[in-house]
Structure 1
C-alpha cells in the first residue's frame, strides 16, 4: 500500500528545535513510559475518549473510529533519508554510553533499513476534527488539554503520548479536516543531540516536527495519498509509524476486548462504533458475543472479571434506575447522574463509574458484602461532569 507521496520531501523536512544550553533529553521519556504496561489498552482508551470528546454536538450519529494496520515502504516515510543518514547518526554520537537510549536508536536504525515498516492508522468520523485550539494543544503544548467544553474527558494533556508508546520509531503523523481546512504534521518523540545552526553549536529538544519548509507549520494537505481519496468529511487521521511488531501480532483482539471493557456504556448509548482492520464492526449488538468469550475463558475472565456483571445490568429488562438528587448546594442539578442496578446474572458487588463520554473511570467497590448487585453510575450532566473532571487523576482511572 502506497501511503506517502515523496513530493512532500521537496517542501518539507524534519525540524528539531534547539538552542543554547538546553537540558538534554534521553530516550527515557516519562510521558511515554507510563503507557508501556498496557500499551494497547491505553491507546484504545485515549484515542476513543478524544474522538468522543470531538463528537458533533446535537448529532444522532455515533462517533465512528476505525483502526487499520498495513505496511508501507520505508522510503515513503516522510523525511526517510534525512532520518536514516543524518538524524539517527547524530543522536548515536551523542549517547554512546546511555544503554537504553542506544538500544532505542539501534532499533530505529534497523527499522529504517527494512524494506517495509508497520503502520497503524486510526481515523474518526462524525467529529469536528482538530480545531485551531485543539491542534495547538495537541502539537505545540505539554500538559495542555483543550476540549470543547468543561464536561469533556481529558484534562491533563498526558494521553497524547499513548500513540507514541506503541511506535518503535516514536513517530506519529496527524492529518485533520476541520473548519479551518486540511492540515497535517509529523511529530517524533526523539532524543536531544548537538547540531549546528548558522555556524553555532546548539542542543536540540527531544521532539521533532515534519512540517512545511522545516518548521512547525502544518502542511496544507493530508498524508493519506497514493490511491487513498483525500478526506472530505471532517475528522482526524492518525498514522502510528513503526507500529510495534510484538503488539501487531494480536492487536485486533486486544483492542476489541479493551474497547468492550472501557466503553461498554458508550456502545450501549449508541455514542460509539468502531471498525477494526476493515473487517469487524464493533457496536453494542456485538457485546453478547464478546461477553460470552470472556465468561468462557479463564484468562480473559481474570482480566475483565467485572465486565460480564455490568453487561448483565444493561441486559436486565427489570434493572432499577435511580436519579441523583440532593447536591444542588454544589451546583449539581437533580437528575444529572443516574445509577443503574440489577441483582441478575454475574453480580460483582461493584459499580462501574463513568462520565459523559461513557468511558469507564473505575470500579467502585466496598459498598456491601451482603447485598448481591452490580451497578453502573452514569454522570451525564454538564455541572457534575465539570466537577468530576477536576477531581480525576491524570490516568482517568480514579
Structure 2
C-alpha cells in the first residue's frame, strides 16, 4: 500500500554515514545568505523560458503550525533513530544538530523560507525519472551535475546543498510545474545513519514522498495524491520551481541580507531587465528591479559591506570607458571601467545571465572599478565548466585533466581576458614605466587618505597580524666635543674706502631699501619731489591653502612619488611644483618628467605642472615622476594664477 511519508533507505551492510557533509559545509560561514541567494537566483536565470519577460524570484518567509502537519512528528522519530544508532559514540557535531532540531520541532510554529521562480521552465523529469533530468539531479542525486543541453543552464550539482546550510532541520522541499507537464513535490532530509521503525540502520539521506515498499515503487507526490503540506505550494498554471527551506535559521535581518546579496551578485541582471526579485513576510514587501536599483544602492552608501559593489555598479551604469574584446569570437566580452580616487582597484567577472562570478585586482597606480561581462555563447559555455560549486571564480583546472584540449582552451581564454583587461586599464590611465617595483601586497595598504582630512575610510580587515612587542631598550647617547683654539687678528689702518677685505672678506650689510614716495598727481605744490605714480601692475598669484598634505616614494630609484593633499578651498587654475629639501634646510626645484592628478595626465613645463582644477575638502592624489632618481624629502609648492 502506498503512503506519503519519510523514507530513509536501508543501509543493508553499506558504510555508515555521519552528519558531517563537506558539500553542505562549504556553503556555511559569514556568507551563508549570500550563497543561498546566489544559488537560487542563478538556477532560476539558467532555467529562463522563451518569453521576453524577466525571470522573477520571490523570497517569502512563512510560519506554519507544527501540529498541523504530521511530517514533522514523523521526522522527530527519525531524529530519535539517530540517537539510538549512535548512542554514546555520537560526535559533538551531530549532538548539537539534534538538540537544535528538537527545539525547532517542539516549537508551536516552524519557519519556512520559500524561494519561488516564475517565467522559467520548471524541472523536467519528475514523471520520466530519467537519471540525467534536472528533477533527478536536484532531488535524487549526489555528486552528479546535469547541464541543460539547450542553453547550458544550471547543473544542480553541489550548489543545491546551499539551502540545507540554512535549515536547523537539514530539510528542504522542492515543488515544480515543468514544461514536460510534470507537477511534482518532494522533501529531502540529510541526517546521519539512523535506526528506522524496524530497528534497522539506514542511509543518511531520506525523502518525503509516496512510498510503496511492497512493490518497491517510490515516487514524488503528484497532484492526484492528497497532501495538505504540498497544497500550500500547489501550482495550477504558472510554470516554475519552489525551494522550501524548513526550519529556516537565518531569520534575523533576513530580508536585509538577501537584498544585499542580490544587489552584489545580480546588479547586471537586474539592470538589464533579466531578473526581478521580491522579498516579503508578514510585515514587509520589497521589490528589487531596474526602476529602483539605483536608489537601493544609494540607501547603502554608508554600508561598508556594499562599498565595492556600489563602485562596480557605478562603473557599469556610468563608465569612463566601454570596450568590446575578442577572445574566441569577436565581441565575446564587454568591459566597463570607471576611475575614482576612492575606488578599491577591483575587476568583477559576470556571466552572460548577469550573475557575478568573482572579483580580483590588477595593480596599477590608478584606483578603478571594472565590470567584465561574458557575452559570447561559446565562451560562456566553456567558462561555466571552470566554476567551482560556489561559482566565485574561473579555474581551468576544474575541467577534467583528460579533456586536454578543452582545458588548454579554457586556460588560454581566461588569460586572454585578464591580459586584455589589464591593457585596457593601462591605456585608460597613464602608467609610469613598466619596470617599477611594488612589494607584493604592500601597495594595497599604503594610505590614500591624508592625515586630518576628515575622510572616513572603511577597511576590509584583510590582514590582522599579531605583533608581540618586546622590552624597549634605550641606547646610550654618546657626547663628543671638539676643541677649537681661538685666534686674534690685529687690524690695520689704510687710507681710502677700505674695509679690511683681505682679512675679513665679509662685506658690510646693505642698507635697507625704501620705495620712492608716491607722487600725488593732483598736488601742484612746488615742494614735491620726484617719485612714482600708481599704475596697473602684474597680476597677483595667490598661494593656495592646503589643510593636509603628504608625499612619499613609490619607487625612489625610478623617481616615482605619490602626493596626497586636501585643499581648503576650490581652485580652477592651480599650478604645482616640487622641491627637494636637503639636510641644511635648503630646497632645490625638481624637474618633473610626467604627472597625473586623480588619474588624468597634466601638462608639465620643466618644474611646474598645471593647470589643475580642484574642489575644496576633496582628497587629491598625484603621481609624479622626477628626473632625480633618489629618495628625497619633498616640499610641495602651489600657485593659483587668475585666469584672463
2:120 to 111, 115, 127: 127
1:288 Cα shift?
A: 2.0
Q: Distance in 2 between matches of 1:363 and 1:258?
A: 15
Preserved CA contact (<8 Å) 2:47 2:121:
yes
Tell me what 2:307 maps to.
305
Q: Give the direction of change, closer, same or farther, for the CA distance of 1:210–1:189 in structure 2 (3 Å limit).
A: same
Q: Relative to structure 1, is the Cα distance of residues 224 and 16 closer, same or farther in structure 2, using a 3 angstrom cutoff?
A: closer
Map of 1:360 onto structure 2: 356
Deviations 1:30-79 (A, max 9, x none): 1111111121111000000000010113x221100000112101123452
Structure 2 counterpart of 1:161: 161
TM-score when normalising by structure 2? 0.55
Between the aligned partners of 2:35 and 2:92, the Cα distance in structure 1 is: 27
Matched residue SS, 2:94:
helix
What is the alpha-carbon distance in structure 2 between the residues aligned to residue 250 and residue 156 of structure 1?
Answer: 28
1:234 matched to 2:232: no
Q: Please list every run of 5 or more consecutive structure 1 residues that lacks an aligned counterpart in the other structure.
A: 1-8
Q: Please give the secondary structure, in 2, of the residue aligned with 1:292.
A: helix
| 18-27 or 271-280: bigger deviation | 18-27
Cα deviation code 1:320-375 (max 9, x no counterpart)? 321112x3xxxx21112211222368533222101122111111212x42234321
Q: 1:224 to 1:18 in 2, by over 3 A?
A: closer
Q: Is the CA contact (8 Å cut-off) linking 1:74 and 1:80 kept in structure 2?
A: yes
Question: Does the CA contact (< 8 Å) of 1:156 and 1:394 recur in 2?
Answer: no
Q: 1:271 is matched with which residue: 270, 274, 295?
A: 274
Tell me how far 1:15 sits from its aligned partner: 0.6
Q: Which of 91, 99, 105 is the equivalent residue of 2:98? A: 105
| 2:111 match | 118
Out of 368, 378, 382, the residue aligned to residue 387 of structure 1 is: 382
* Shift, 1:314, TM fit: 2.7
Take 2:121 and 2:45, find their aligned partners in 1: how far apart are those partners?
10
Residue pair 1:151, 1:385 contacting (<8 A) in 2 also:
no
Taking only aligned residues, the RMSD between alpha carbons, in angstroms, comes to 2.3
For residue 220 of structure 2, give the secondary structure of its aligned residue in structure 1. Answer: coil
Alpha-carbon distance in 2 for matches of 1:101, 1:355: 38
- In structure 1, the partner of 2:325 is 324
| Structural mapping, 1:11-26, within 5 Å | 11-26=3-18
Q: Does 1:63 align with 2:59?
A: no
- Given that residues 19 and 93 in structure 2 are in contact (C-alpha distance below 8 angstroms), is that contact kept between their aligned partners in structure 1? yes
Picking from 378, 381, 392, the partner of 1:397 is: 392
Cα offset, 1:24, TM superposition: 1.6
Partner-residue secondary structure (3-state), 2:44: helix
Partner Cα distance (1:78, 1:180) in 2: 29
Distance 1:108 1:240 in 2: 14
Q: Return the match for 1:87 from 65, 78, 83.
A: 78
Tell whether the 8 Å contact from 2:349 to 2:372 is kept in structure 1 after alignment: yes
Contact 1:224 1:230 in 2 (8 A): no
Distance 1:229 1:90, change over 3 A: closer
Q: How far apart, in 1, do the equivalents of 2:235 and 2:48 lie? A: 21
Q: Distance in 2 between matches of 1:26 and 1:336?
A: 46
- 2:298 alignment partner in structure 1: 292
Q: CA–CA distance in 2 between the matches of 1:104 and 1:388?
A: 37
Greater share of residues in helix = 1
Does the CA-based 8 Å contact 1:267-1:273 persist in structure 2? yes
Residues 93-134 of structure 1 show CA distances to partners (whole Å, capped at 9, x for unaligned) of 122332221221122122222211111111000000011110
Worse-matched range after superposition: 337-346 or 127-136: 337-346
Correspondence 1:252-267 to 2 at 5 A: 252-267=255-270
Q: Give the conservation status (yes or no) of the 8 Å contact 1:129–1:235.
A: yes
CA 372–55 in structure 1, closer or farther in 2 if over 3 Å, else same? same
Number of residue pairs matched by the alignment: 371
Higher relative contact order (CA 8 A, sep 6+): 1
Does 1:46 find its partner at 2:39?
A: yes
Task: Show the counterpart of 1:206.
Answer: 204
Matched residue, 1:176: 176
Which structure would you say has the larger Rg? 2
Q: Does the Cα contact within 8 Å between 1:351 and 1:375 map onto a contact in 2? A: yes
- Judged with a 3 Å threshold, the aligned counterparts in structure 2 of structure 1 residues 350 and 99 are, in CA distance, closer, same or farther, namely closer
Question: Contact between 1:143 and 1:156, CA under 8 Å: does it hold in 2?
Answer: no
